[in-house]
Chains A and B, each alone.
Chain A
Amino acid sequence: MNTQNKSAVTSEGKAGTNTNPSQRSGTSESVLRPAVDIHETADELVLRADMPGVARERLDIRVDGNNLLIEGTIGIAPQEAMAALYADVRSTMYRRQFVLSNELDSANIAASLQNGVLTVRLPKRAENKPRRIPVN
């Protein structure tokens, strides 16, 4: 379901073109790709994404047509004088995109964020939920 491969994400976040409005800091900063779990039940699809450091106000979830875009910025502000000794995480921006399918009710997507884990619930349209056919 993910339409963007890793290199596409990286090249999008890299410098050169500063026309990208979502690029907020740094010129050589790449974009982090959050790890996700996706599962489906009878009523909905549930997406969970690890986005440590992102507070609610720095999270942006957008549905544009069939496209679900998840973006977030890490809100830790190290002191000015701090020198980096070691860094596994070398960017402050998360981004990941998914293509939704038509049976999902995109008007009723719900999202919540707890301890850096984002949960997005994508309900199925009523007519697409599996129905049990009663046998008389």
Chain B
Amino acid sequence: MFTRFDFPESSLFSDVRRLERELDDLFGGGTTWSSGIRSLPPGTFPAINVGSTDDQVTLYVFAPGLDAKSLDIQMQQNLLSISGKREEPPERGATYYRQERFRGEFRRALTLPDDVDPDNVEAKYRDGIVEIIVKRRASAKPRQIAVQ
């Protein structure tokens, strides 16, 4: 599974995307509506939220029940990829009524804004969320220009 998307830093685009998603949800996968070429079906594992400030881009990867050591996070320029595996052998001799939870290998890649610093990335795993902080280069931060 290889999924990739990027996002423009414009709230108009994210609004459009959100509307797309809501229409998808409403009409059950959008059989008649066209979807974005990089949009992901709802429920793709792991879910990811991305937020940004002037200093950094923060990713929250919703990946419960993983061994942190099995996670592979890589950064190439501004392309961040995260892969891993969630293995839970089924209980032997048990009867399963529901198996909705994801099992197996996953991989997701994201194009981050251009000004991120690939050498300045931190990640931690807590309560099933991988939080990845990517710093932005100082030159990209907005500067106040003093008027002479």
Contact = CB atoms under 8 A, between A and B. Distances in A.
B91 A76 contact: no
A39 B65 contact: no
Given A55-B127, A84-B50, A117-B65, A39 B96 contact: yes
A8 interface: no
Chain A at the B interface: SS class: loop
Bin chain B's interface residue count: 35 or more
B94 A82 contact: no
Nearest to B51: A82
A117 B47 CA distance: 15
A89 B21 CA distance: 12
Interface string A67-90: 000000001101101111111111
B91 A46 contact: yes
Given A50-B101, A86-B48, A39 B91 contact: yes
15 contacts: A36-B100, A37-B98, A39-B96, A53-B129, A76-B60, A79-B58, A83-B11, A83-B52, A85-B51, A86-B17, A86-B50, A86-B110, A88-B49, A115-B65, A117-B64
Closest 8 CB pairs of A and B: A116-B128, A116-B64, A52-B128, A88-B47, A82-B51, A35-B100, A117-B65, A52-B64
